[in-house]
Structure 1
Amino acid sequence: MKTALIAVCAATLLLLSACNTVKGMGQDLQKAGEKIEGAAKK
């Protein structure tokens, strides 16, 4: 579980560094939230 959390955090940082606009950042955060939610359901 700890490894999965580290992987999700790393992916979130990559997504956030890739966005150039406020709208893009919102979309990236939404996608990251969906991935965290999916990981929590497993």
Structure 2
Amino acid sequence: MLAAVEHRFGNAMRTPAEIEWLTDNGSGYTADKTKAFASAIGLSR
């Protein structure tokens, strides 16, 4: 996730505004730490 944000927005640790993180139809379970990390860098699901 961080690599995708850095690729799109440069060497930023957070997106300029919250964006939606689209994933494949994999597991419906997402670890709490993964959710917290995504939120910290500006991603929502």
Using the size of structure 1 for normalisation, the TM-score is: 0.31
Using the size of structure 2 for normalisation, the TM-score is: 0.30
Indicate the structure whose relative CO is greater, using CA pairs within 8 Å and at least 6 residues apart.
2
Greater fraction strand: 2
Greater fraction helix: 1
